[in-house]
Amino acid sequence: MTDFLYKLVAFAVTLGVLVVFHELGHYVVARLAGVKVLRFSVGFGRVIWSRRFGRDGTEWALSAIPLGGYVRMADEREAAVTRADLPRAFNRQPVAKRIAIVAAGPIANLVLAGFFFAATYMAGVPGQRPLLAAPPPQSAAAAAGVRGGDIVTAVDGDPVRSVQELRWRLLREQGAPSVSLSLVRGNVASEPVERELSLGALTDADWEADPLTKLGLHVDLGPPIVDSVLPGKPAEAAGLRAGDRIVAVDGVPMHSPADVAQVTNAHPAAALDYRVMRGGRELNVALTPEAVEEGGRKIGLAGVRLRVDPTALARLAVVVRYGPLAALGAGFRKTGELSLFTVRMLGRIVTGSASLRNISGPITMADIAGESAQAGVLAFLGYLALISISLGVLNLLPIPLLDGGHLLYYLAEIVKGSPVSDHAIEVGQRIGMAMLAVLMALALFNDVSRLF
């Protein structure tokens, strides 16, 4: 129950911060444009608390359904406007002003994300040095000439300072045939060598899972340690024990828990030879992974939980930190990159080249909000930045009912020289409502599927 309440509070804080900032964008630009604001509401539906402030007596309200918010302006299409307020009515403003007011909400979310990322960069983002283990012989990394001990310093000329940055740089290049890796080998002061890494063999499922592992870019975390063995599973039957270090599987050296998972998953119901270090001596353990169905295919599971050697983590630990100006630049650059990535991902979902399971709803959001809040302030700020970007991009989509739908009407008005008819807007609203209902149903279905 405590964990549930923690996640609920973290989710409420997430929604509250992002919705308030989004609506403040609309509010501030509306006031600057001279439009009269009647109500600023956090939430929809029945007003449960309100106060009036300012020379216009703007009502600041909390409403019953806390899944959004709105700014209500004087507008003749919605209610009667007094003669004195007609020049300040939203519908009487030039189209450029209306576009600025509507676009201000999503843009505020993107700006907020940039500042959140900048704050994390100034505080310092913990990560791991991109020190690579020797790649598997048949991998793309091996074909590119990557060696064990190489440190990745850049991808296509963009600097890389941690494994997390390396993963993001590769995700950003999804769809490209290859990337150029800058590697330092041996002496860290030596000149980097350039290696061309092919991305052509990666499938959509590989990109959605772990592209680094599929490419053979394994971080050298040392032999993983068995944390616990699940009762009744193959690992227990084979004799694996907590504290065992898995040195190799079928002769292939293991440098991380992901290495063990990759080999084990690829051999359902096939005998494997685990070479482990136990009490200062090495021994072989024969283990046959259990075959289970996952994602429409069979994978092998050993029934063991692994952890990384803490001394290896300490050796690889790095903190990515920038000064104030550099942090602002890095924060807004990352916001731009993630915004474009989100748009591309939505396009791939629409065209069917990415799974609909990538769409998440409020249950998943609450779960991740709670986990990130428990991980610390920096993790929670990073999560807020990601959700703020999603909210900003989603609202800019040309779907009626969303800000992007209104912007579409205004662009049509510019083209045709007159406002879009009320009938066309009404039809668009119905279409938009249906689209959002389907999207919400799909998101909730995915959330429930993940739970069970």
Q: Mean pLDDT for the chain? A: 87
pLDDT tens digit sequence for 348-360 = 777 776 666 777 7
Output the pLDDT for position 1: 52
Output the pLDDT for position 424: 84
Output the pLDDT for position 433: 84
Question: Any residues with CB less than 8 A from the CB of 55 and at least 6 apart, and which?
Answer: none
**Strands annotated E in 322-383:** none
Helices and strands of the chain, counted as H and E runs: 14, 16
pLDDT tens digit sequence for 323-340 = 999 999 999 999 998 999
72 membership: H or E segment, kind and range: strand 58-73
274 touches 285 (CB < 8 A): yes
90 touches 30 (CB < 8 A): yes
Strands lying side by side in the sheet with 151-155: 158-159, 151-155, 178-184, 193-198
In DSSP terms, 252 is beta-bridged to 249
Name the catalytic one among 23, 191, 413, 426: 23
Give the pair of three-digit tokens for residue 448: 């429930």
Nearest to 387 by CA among 6, 83, 19, 5: 19
From CA 57, how far away is CA 327, in angstroms rounded? 40
Output the pLDDT for position 148: 84
From CA 204, how far away is CA 182, in angstroms rounded? 25
Distance in Å from the first CA to the final CA of the chain: 19
| Beta-carbon-side half-sphere exposure of residue 104 (alpha carbons within 13 Å) | 22
Nearest to 159 by CA among 186, 189, 179, 181: 181
From CA 74, how far away is CA 68, in angstroms rounded? 20
CATH of domain 225-308: 2.30.42.10
Domain 140-215 matches domain 225-308 at the CATH topology level: yes
pTM of the complete model: 0.80
Each of the 452 residues of the chain gets a pLDDT tens digit; together they read 577 777 778 888 888 899 999 999 999 999 999 999 999 999 888 999 999 988 889 999 999 888 788 999 999 888 888 998 899 999 999 999 999 999 999 999 999 999 999 999 999 988 888 888 888 888 888 888 988 888 899 999 888 888 888 988 888 888 788 999 999 886 555 678 899 989 888 777 777 777 888 888 888 888 999 999 999 999 999 999 999 999 999 988 888 888 898 889 989 999 999 999 998 899 999 999 999 887 667 889 999 999 988 888 888 888 889 999 999 999 999 999 899 988 888 887 777 766 667 777 677 777 777 778 787 888 889 899 999 999 999 999 888 888 999 999 999 989 988 888 888 888 888 888 888 888 878 777 776 776 66
349 to 77, 220, 360: CA distances (angstroms): 36, 34, 13
Nearest to 327 by CA among 120, 43, 139, 106: 120
From CA 104, how far away is CA 107, in angstroms rounded? 5
Question: Any residues with CB less than 8 A from the CB of 445 and at least 6 apart, and which?
Answer: none
Q: Is the dihedral of CA 391, 396, 397, 402 positive or negative?
A: positive
160 to 9, 208, 359: CA distances (angstroms): 35, 21, 29
Domain boundaries defined on the chain = 2-33+93-121+381-451, 140-215, 225-308
Which residue has 């050697």 as its token pair? 309
Q: CATH number of 140-215: 3.40.50.720, 3.30.565.10, 2.30.42.10, 2.60.120.10?
A: 2.30.42.10
Output the pLDDT for position 354: 67
Please say if 413 is a catalytic residue: no
pLDDT tens digit sequence for 65-101 = 887 889 999 998 888 889 988 999 999 999 999 999 9
23 touches 42 (CB < 8 A): yes
From CA 18, how far away is CA 112, in angstroms rounded? 8
Q: Of how many residues is the chain composed?
A: 452
